[in-house]
Amino acid sequence: VVIIVGLGVVFIGKEATTLPPERTMIVVLPFDNLGPPEDGYFADGITEEVTGRLAALQGLGVISRTSAIRYKNTDKTIRQIGEELGVDYVLEGAVRWDRDGDGQGRVRVTPKLIHVSDDTQLWSESYDRVMQDIFSVQSEIAEQVARQLDITVLEPERRALFAEPTDNIEAYDLYLKGGEHQSRGWRTSDASDFEQAIQMYERAVELDPNFALIYIDLANIHLRMYFFGTDRTEERLAKARAAAERALELQPDDPQALEVMALYYYWGFLDYDRAVEIIESIQRARPNLVPNVLGYIQRRQGKWEEAVETMKKSFELNPRYSQLAYEIGGALVSMRRYTEAEKWFDRTLSIDPDHLAAQMGKVGIQVLSEGNVEKAKAFLENVPQHPFADYMWFILGMMERNYQETLDRLDSLSYSLFEEQHVYFHRDLAYAAVYHAMGDSSKMETHAGWVRGALERAIAERPLDPRYHAALGLTYAYLGQKDQAILEGKRAVDLYPVTKDVALGPLYLLNLARIYTLVGEHEEAIGQLEYILSVYSSEFLWQVISVPLLRIDPMWDPLRSYPRFQRLLQESPRIFIPGT
């Protein structure tokens, strides 16, 4: 009913990681906002800018903002934070912006550099400047930290240290406000936050058309909206390219600008070779940068062990980055290393107890590893309401063959359609699946007929979107239109083949296996299942199969009398690794 890709995200423009770990390590904790609460975005922005300037120094290892932000308003001591992050020094501070009549005024920034081992303050300063000097303040703080830690600053690094991204303070303020919306959008997947960020960024570049950081963030947002299915149109991808190219035009050697172009080839075209080529060129020039995206690309290429090692290496310097911990766990689920995966999901939740994907991962593991629906339901009881949680309840209800309860849950939904990256959930298609399992062909065909029109219209608008073809294939199967069902299922596979994405291409083969089962092509269905079990793929319960899952899922009941299927239930899968 629904096809969904992993929830992993990467925000490479702002989340590059520094290494190697033997270097002097520092974390910049979120600066306190001493002004009105609505100025919190400004203090966060100053923190991020100082972090970015320090990260440009090859002699210094800097914990990324994604890990540091977890300590905002924390009660933990400096020593506790230092031990958790593995750092030698902590930079903390406070910010106050006293605006005047024209919205500028003065800025007061008070940084403190603290040695973790003995909790001594090495350096402190109070900067009281006009707002126009904010970039000088950021540079001076970073320079003083480098001096106190005896870090040699090379000339290219000095240029980065003292760079002023814009001379328009109003544009800079819009940039920081847009960044707040962008960060919230990544956390919540709320498209309205991305739209508000875009509006602020576009106003900012009207004030300063040469503000390169704005174009980097614009490209990031447009690519996110395209890749994750919010707006998978050529117009959105064109906007991403235009922003990325403008950033590179303004700053041809800037690592962030280069990274967002790598992301353009990865998310826009699944062109892994071009993306990796760009990333490797960045690493040759800046060996202290390891974009998290490299591990994600390796996973899509089927380089599973390399992907896990790359992500673990990055996590060493992002030890509070919950999403990265989750991605490691997700890769291990794909590799059917369930015990290890659950440990990483637990680690994710220890950092961020509300991390939805990790919660869902723990639910799925119970079924994939043991076929234990009751245990999965017990975990799911603690997951907050969300369309993904709704779908998990639907899956578990079907596996438990509790069809009336499943119908009741569908009746209670406040929405009929939900779309995300590789997701197309239509409530009528879910109803059709339940009524098929119940043997009520009349109601099955009624609901399938209602969703068919919506899918055919969606395909007319976006004919290259595999989600719609996959769902339409299932719809035709419920309607008894065998040839059309198989044609649409194969079309989805052709649009998103395993050769394009080793990790997620198999989910469309699984969809095709379901179609074959529904239309009576049972040997063909078993053939697809044999292949899917021979490879690693995806990480969510509804995207993958395992032997314990096959044993309980009623979807495959028509196949149970076949010797080939029985052998699947008895054998340990032999894994095919691409390139071996």
Q: Which of 236, 266, 291 is the last residue of a domain?
A: 291
pLDDT value for 288: 60
Q: How confident is the model at residue 11 (pLDDT cuts 50, 70, 90)?
A: very low
Q: How confident is the model at residue 544 (pLDDT cuts 50, 70, 90)?
A: confident
Q: Is the pLDDT of residue 233 over 80?
A: yes
The whole-chain average pLDDT of the chain stands at 89
- What is the chain's alpha carbon radius of gyration, rounded to the nearest angstrom? 26
- Helices and strands per DSSP (H, E), number in the chain: 27, 11
Q: In this structure, what DSSP letter does residue 424 have? A: E
Give the residue among 406, 405, 456, 458 at the shortest CA–CA distance from 431: 406
The total number of structural domains in the chain stands at 3
Q: Please spell the DSSP secondary structure of 219-266, one letter per residue.
A: HHHHHHHHHTTSS-SHHHHHHHHHHHHHHHHH-TT-HHHHHHHHHHHH
In a domain, 361, yes or no: no
Q: Is the pLDDT of residue 283 over 90?
A: no
Q: Which residues contact 446 (CB under 8 A, 6 or more apart)?
A: none
pLDDT value for 270: 93
pLDDT value for 160: 77
Q: Are 88 and 79 in contact (CB under 8 A)?
A: no
Contacts of 104-108 with CB under 8 Å at 24 or more apart are 104/130, 104/131, 104/132, 104/169, 105/130, 105/131, 106/130, 106/131, 107/131, 107/133, 107/134, 107/137, 108/34
Q: Is the pLDDT of residue 7 over 80?
A: no
Give the residue among 259, 330, 254, 351 at the shortest CA–CA distance from 537: 330
177 and 103 within one domain: no
CATH number, domain with residue 533:
1.25.40
* Pick from 223-237, 284-298, 545-559: least confident: 284-298
Q: Which residues contact 353 (CB under 8 A, 6 or more apart)?
A: none
130 and 196 within one domain: no
* Pick from 18-27, 95-104, 114-123, 362-371: least confident: 18-27
Task: Return the SS3 of 76.
Answer: coil
406 and 274 within one domain: no
Determine the average pLDDT of the residues in 483-502: 96
Q: Is the pLDDT of residue 375 over 90?
A: yes
Q: In this structure, what DSSP letter does residue 385 have? A: S
- Percent with pLDDT over 70 in the chain: 93
In a domain, 348, yes or no: no
pLDDT value for 241: 97
Cis peptide, bond prior to residue 319, ω within 30 of zero: no
216 and 158 within one domain: no
- Count CB-CB contacts under 10 A for residue 406: 23
pLDDT value for 158: 83
Question: What amino acid is encoded at 287 in this protein?
Answer: P
In a domain, 447, yes or no: yes
pTM: 0.80
395 and 444 within one domain: yes
In a domain, 327, yes or no: no
pLDDT value for 180: 86
In a domain, 329, yes or no: no
Q: Is the pLDDT of residue 452 over 90?
A: yes
Task: Tell me which residue range forms the domain holding 267.
Answer: 165-291
**Separation between Cα atoms, residue 13 and residue 2, nearest integer Å:** 31
206's tokens: 């009207």
**Separation between Cα atoms, residue 276 and residue 309, nearest integer Å:** 16
Determine the average pLDDT of the residues in 10-39: 70
Which residue has better confidence, 153 or 9?
153
Q: Are 11 and 186 in contact (CB under 8 A)?
A: yes
271 and 136 within one domain: no
170 and 157 within one domain: no
Q: Are 3 and 278 in contact (CB under 8 A)?
A: no
Q: Is the pLDDT of residue 183 over 50?
A: yes
Q: Is the pLDDT of residue 21 over 50?
A: no
Q: Which of 265, 291, 317 is the last residue of a domain?
A: 291
Q: Is the pLDDT of residue 161 over 90?
A: no
337's tokens: 């290393």
Q: Please spell the DSSP secondary structure of 25-61, one letter per residue.
A: EEEEPPPEE-S-GGGHHHHHHHHHHHHHHHHT-TTEE
Helix (H) / strand (E) element for 446: namely helix 441-461
181 and 53 within one domain: no
Q: How confident is the model at residue 382 (pLDDT cuts 50, 70, 90)?
A: very high
* Pick from 37-51, 337-351, 440-454: least confident: 37-51
pLDDT value for 463: 93
- Count CB-CB contacts under 10 A for residue 382: 9
pLDDT value for 289: 64
46's tokens: 């100053």
Q: How confident is the model at residue 577 (pLDDT cuts 50, 70, 90)?
A: low
Determine the average pLDDT of the residues in 480-493: 98
* Pick from 183-187, 269-273, 454-458: least confident: 183-187
**Separation between Cα atoms, residue 113 and residue 93, nearest integer Å:** 9
Q: Are 437 and 402 in contact (CB under 8 A)?
A: no
- Count CB-CB contacts under 10 A for residue 230: 21
Which residue has better confidence, 202 or 59?
202
* Pick from 59-68, 98-107, 166-175, 233-242: least confident: 98-107
In a domain, 357, yes or no: no
Determine the average pLDDT of the residues in 370-383: 95
Q: Which residues contact 194 (CB under 8 A, 6 or more apart)?
A: 181, 182, 185, 221, 224, 225, 230
Which residue has better confidence, 286 or 197?
197
Q: Is the pLDDT of residue 99 over 90?
A: no
CATH number, domain with residue 242:
1.25.40.10
Tell me the pLDDT tens digit for each residue of 397-441: 999 999 999 999 999 999 999 988 888 899 999 999 999 999 999
pLDDT value for 535: 93
Q: Which of 237, 270, 291 is the last residue of a domain?
A: 291
Give the residue among 427, 514, 508 at the shortest CA–CA distance from 468: 508
In a domain, 417, yes or no: yes
154 and 287 within one domain: no
State the burial class of residue 372 (Cβ atoms within 10 Å of its Cβ: 0-12, 13-18, 19+). Answer: middle
In a domain, 535, yes or no: yes
61 and 140 within one domain: yes
Determine the average pLDDT of the residues in 329-350: 95
Q: Are 420 and 455 in contact (CB under 8 A)?
A: no
**Separation between Cα atoms, residue 107 and residue 32, nearest integer Å:** 13
541 and 415 within one domain: yes
CATH number, domain with residue 49:
3.40.50.10070
177 and 135 within one domain: no
Q: What are phi and psi of 130, to 5 degrees?
A: -70, 155
Q: Is the pLDDT of residue 14 over 50?
A: no
Q: Are 515 and 480 in contact (CB under 8 A)?
A: no
Q: How confident is the model at residue 6 (pLDDT cuts 50, 70, 90)?
A: very low
